[in-house]
Chain A
């Protein structure tokens, strides 16, 4: 299991050092600094073995988190734990920075003591942790016995992510369907790979221990229902309405630990008792019938050895009534660029020498439109034999729909003990599609 955990700043100075196992000596801290942080080469692997000691590291801005072990640990678990550690710290004190870590080092030690015992990760749900690791040490003494046992049963219990006795005057929930659409397209416009990775994020402000059931236009469910009772289904699918697609094929999905996986496996129904506040209910991935919001058509022409002509057309491909925002196209330029002239029809375009790219920004663009940019790039003559690698043209944007076609069909809330029903809950749904790695080769 994890033998120790270190946090360093970018210089390699130790900010936090917690050793859990006797087989990890004091020199381990230095070994990592010397061999990884101060290594001349770029890091070639997130797992490093130095003298039979294995180091796992992740970096957050310029902070290094390293877990160390001498055993054959579950490597996936170690990384998941490091990410979780980052989440917990962020939930407690915001951004992970040297300053914040130094300011909160006592808290971090306390957290490390709680969420990692002898190198075994323990309950690391911030909701639960915040009930008893509060940085107001005295509070512990004023808790009643009931409160204490409530804490312990929550930390160890089946529903470790929610405490009892939550009350809201207004029961309300927000669902965000956040998708990132990824594309790799050949210069000729052939889709080399495309997928959507989506998340359903829920903010719940619900009283008691509500039992929730979430439904979406999952093809498997719709088809199953279609077989069962067609009449019932017709009404429902309209509810999702809007796009022509009735159901989508989900390649794979993963759920927050509150979701009953065995129930999903057998009935494909998503039922759970949600944590209080904001959390990620599910992640999913689709590859079929993706709506690609933009198409990029590049044209790069080399004129002699010292000049490049670039023309890029973007076309928006969604309902004209919708508006895409924060559109940005990055056109990479060779390292030996000496000057650039840009003309664009819409938005603003600039050559950024420090980034070796022309950045073209458009604030808004409606569906079924197109726009174009052309640029002349002057090059310095070089002796470099190596050809310019022509990195792909990448794009960023935000659209108010889900490129996968996912629709929320319902989210039902049942709380039998309290006197509010599904109808009393105010529900909000929002769809946001963003670009992930959206690249077109040129």
Chain B
């Protein structure tokens, strides 16, 4: 037995020699020659020239020789189809052989030869073999149908093999059943809509019976097939689970994982109050832990899956933290995965242990692992508040090691800790600053700069530190440049006197010497903001930042559901849907978990809810450090805390320019600035999440930013050349004709004909809506109140089944019809919807009065948000009062119900104003002019019959209007005034 010699023949003329040997009379020599051919084939030599000679050896009694020839045929038949025909006769003959092993061998091999003519001859033998008396032949034939289907699907259907295959599911031999199931599952994948497998309770029962009897591999085929079935009710679901759970004790990890998949899926249908549900949860943990004592490769597969399972059902493994502790000799891929799961399982109960471990890991050798460990310490701080202090001190210890990458990683996470716990750990800044010079990675540099900028007032030499970075500004990565720009602007706003020069320097570097449009745009925004209104600039730039959330790197829920259906498979290892890595149509249909049973629960997403301590976490994410565009939005465009008009400018000189810029900026930022998140109380369990979430960066991808900021990129283009005046007077706004046009345009676009309707604002950011973004506005069109929304799907899966509902509100607004979203919303698609509203719904006074709480449901979840509607849309068309009635009413309403407001900065004549207001159903009844002051008497009527009377005073030449409002329900005055202002200013 020294076959290795066949690998060594490499001399010239080899093929010729082999040919002679193949044709030798001696059987032994022939066999030797075929072995040599196969060896050559293995190492990649082309031995196809020997085809006829090898095929001639096929007719032999020697089974070993026959198998070798078959192997050769499978490799080369495709390249020599004509000669392959020579083999057909032998195959057909072998299919009739009395020895079942030979019959099976023939049919198995024939299926592997992808030559049309041979395939034709295959049909008859295959039909016989499918009904062979010997189970070994039948199980081979079953797989052969799948092979044939791969070559010629039509042929398989025409010949009726599918039905025969289906019959094999009821075969008496478990292995035949298993192979038939495997073949059918594969064929079904390429016919997503055919009901090939026809899973019904009867077949399921057959499969479950075979499950107890077939080989480990057969069990996997059957379990994977079962996972595609959706039971009719919770009872059926439970009975299948009961019969699948014994598989959790199988020695084969793949059987265990496939069983876990079936259980995870069917569990969704079980009512949570069922005893069995709890039992099942308990049964799942031990086998998952056992998987970690398998070989490292399997551990890796198991850990990737556990990562999914922990996200879906954290309660299963919450007590098993210790088994995920890293062992010194674990392969790196196992270590990294374990670390991931440790962070997910970290909780107040186990945090001390986890931290001690992480600290150990941070001293290991592998750089990636150490970095991840350091990062994990930061995550713990953010996740478990009680541990934050210990985490910070651990991180400081690590910084003291001076190991370069450890220090950098630590600084990056400390930045996040500062975000999460503002004004708590700033005492460490000094230590951080000591390490400034050693930072050479952009992420760490950016983080450090952010810290310096954010806490500039506490760092005495902040200006020097930042200045030191400025020297090599153009060599820095964009991330650092942007951060540096923002940090210096922050510094300037905090210490304006000493840092004028610095800020000028950075602004000109960013706007004039950079090719990067993002950097330029940000530079210009700051420039304008600073030059226009430093107070506003302060409010914008130094605005309070939204809190960052504690759970990180969560997989998007719909994807997670899909991946749960793929437990054990490659998809679960990659954490990607099959469509991301499988070519063609095969296996790309999306799988979903079945909806949960039980009455009231259908609305609630099934995973959360119950388990105490289970993180009911919102899918919000810590800003991933790479995402600076997100950072931009986050830091700088967060709306100022007050929603009122910006404080009036003091300098008359700058007024003109300011107006331009103000308008421009408003329209620029109009899309972005939404009202500050309003805490929402509803009686659903999800509502508290809403509180913490405000626009969080990662959901804004760079492309969206371009769209959202609309004008911004246009502006960048307009500024291609540095503004001429800029250098001379850095703080007066750069003025040029081009600019005026640009901003005029910006102002003009917002002006509607007819009733005023505010621009759309984002009501539900995608990250709160699990990928659904809703922006919208209200309008009154031809007497009908409409809620106009843009629904955008930013998730990875299709959204369907939209519905909407309002909470009770001040004016009884209610949808007049269902939400008309007829087609499913595919990923990255947007749809415009107009929802007509009626005013006959239930009434409850809200605060503010025009607040509206909305629930939108789709196939993923129910989402809650609140928005404010302009009260002007409630102004009805017949709101014009008779003069006499007006006079009488005006007198009748006591003076203390009168409210007076100023509308600043409105440059309209009284007539223009009157016209504009009329468009929004505010009717002018009379006009009087006294001492160059126009007094307009106006009336309007709300949809609920409340009359509002107004006196609008317009002084020629004075941009400030005065409005006096009288109403029997004085509460509405404020809202009405806001509408006045909105209408007049747009």
Contact = CB atoms under 8 A, between A and B. Distances in A.
Contact of A73 (B112, B144, B146, B570): B570
B298 A137 contact: no
Contact of A138 (B61, B68, B70, B356): B61
A303 interface: no
A385 B363 CA distance: 12
Interface in B29-63: 35, 38-39, 42-44, 61-63
Contact of B63 (A15, A21, A140): A140
A262 to B, nearest CB: 5
B454 to A, nearest CB: 29
B64 to A, nearest CB: 3
B134 A76 contact: no
B62 A138 contact: yes
B43 to A, nearest CB: 6
B570 A257 contact: no
A184 B578 CA distance: 39
Contacts, number: 298
A118 B301 CA distance: 23
Contact of A74 (B4, B173, B569): B569
Interface stretch (A212-220, A223-231, A248-256): A248-256
Interface string B284-322: 001101100101111011100000000000000000001
A113 B71 contact: yes
Given A76-B257, A77-B568, A106-B68, A118 B147 contact: yes
Contacts of A256: 251
B293 A77 contact: no
Interface stretch (B214-222, B382-390, B735-743): B214-222
Contacts of A99: 4
Contact of A117 (B63, B108, B286, B574): B108
B61 A54 contact: no
B254 A76 contact: yes
A105 B134 contact: no
Contacts of B578: 72
A283 to B, nearest CB: 6
Contacts of A125: 215
Contact of A156 (B35, B136, B403): B136
Contact of A110 (B64, B216, B289): B64
Interface stretch (A144-152, A336-344, A351-359, A409-417): A144-152
Interface in A278-331: 280, 282-283, 285
B838 interface: no
A29 B247 CA distance: 36
Contacts of A153: 135-136
Given A17-B42, A254-B256, A437-B329, A71 B586 contact: yes
A119 to B, nearest CB: 9
B573 A47 contact: yes
Contacts of B143: 117-118, 120
Contacts of A35: none
A58 B293 contact: no
A21 B357 CA distance: 46
Nearest to A123: B215
A58 to B, nearest CB: 6
B111 interface: yes
A158 B213 contact: yes
Interface in B139-172: 139-140, 143-144, 146-147, 150-151
Contacts of B293: 197, 283, 285
Contacts of B296: 46
A177 to B, nearest CB: 16
B176 interface: yes
A141 B66 CA distance: 12
Contact of A387 (B357, B360, B401, B568): B401
Contacts of A402: none
A75 B363 contact: no
Interface string B186-215: 100000000000000000000000001111
Contacts of A366: none
B587 interface: yes
Most chain B CB neighbours (cut-off 10 Å) among A193, A282, A437: A193
B258 A74 contact: yes
A252 B289 contact: yes
Nearest to B405: A386
Contacts of A385: 401-403
A210 to B, nearest CB: 19
Given A16-B42, A156-B175, A257-B251, A118 B325 contact: no
A72 B582 contact: yes
Contacts of A255: 249-251
Contacts of B257: 74, 76
A90 interface: no
Nearest to B100: A152
A138 B254 CA distance: 37
A80 interface: yes
Contacts of A186: 356
A24 to B, nearest CB: 12
Interface residues of B, number: 118
A70 interface: yes
B606 to A, nearest CB: 24
A14 interface: yes
A75 B38 CA distance: 30
Contacts of A57: 297
B364 interface: yes
Interface residues of A, number: 108
B713 interface: no
Contacts of B322: 192-193
A157 B171 CA distance: 12
A68 to B, nearest CB: 12
A47 B334 CA distance: 12
A155 interface: yes
Which of B62, B247, B325, B570 has the most A CB atoms < 10 Å from its CB?
B570
Contacts of A104: 1, 3
Given A79-B295, A113-B71, A157-B173, A103 B3 contact: yes
A421 interface: no
Nearest to A128: B215
A14 B42 contact: yes
A261 B136 contact: no
Nearest to B361: A389
B581 A52 contact: yes
A384 to B, nearest CB: 10
B848 to A, nearest CB: 52
B924 interface: no
A390 B328 CA distance: 11
A128 B573 CA distance: 33
A120 B581 contact: no
A143 to B, nearest CB: 7
Interface string B597-627: 0000000000000000000000000000000
A124 B214 CA distance: 12
30 contacts: A26-B44, A46-B296, A70-B582, A71-B582, A71-B586, A72-B582, A76-B258, A76-B302, A77-B254, A106-B3, A106-B38, A109-B68, A110-B64, A113-B67, A118-B111, A118-B147, A137-B64, A138-B61, A145-B98, A184-B325, A192-B353, A254-B249, A255-B249, A261-B247, A262-B212, A264-B246, A283-B293, A285-B290, A387-B403, A437-B329
Q: 5 tightest A-B contacts by CB?
A: A137-B64, A102-B4, A252-B286, A152-B136, A76-B254
Interface of A: 1, 13-17, 19-23, 26, 29, 42-47, 49, 52, 54, 56-58, 69-77, 79-83, 99, 102-106, 109-110, 113, 117-118, 120-125, 132, 135-138, 140-141, 143, 145, 148-149, 151-153, 155-158, 160, 184, 186, 192-193, 195, 197, 251-257, 260-262, 264-265, 280, 282-283, 285, 385-387, 389-392, 394, 437, 439, 441
Given A74-B254, A79-B254, A441-B360, 16 more contacts: A14-B43, A46-B333, A70-B582, A70-B583, A77-B220, A80-B216, A104-B1, A105-B6, A109-B71, A120-B221, A123-B215, A137-B64, A192-B353, A195-B323, A262-B243, A283-B251
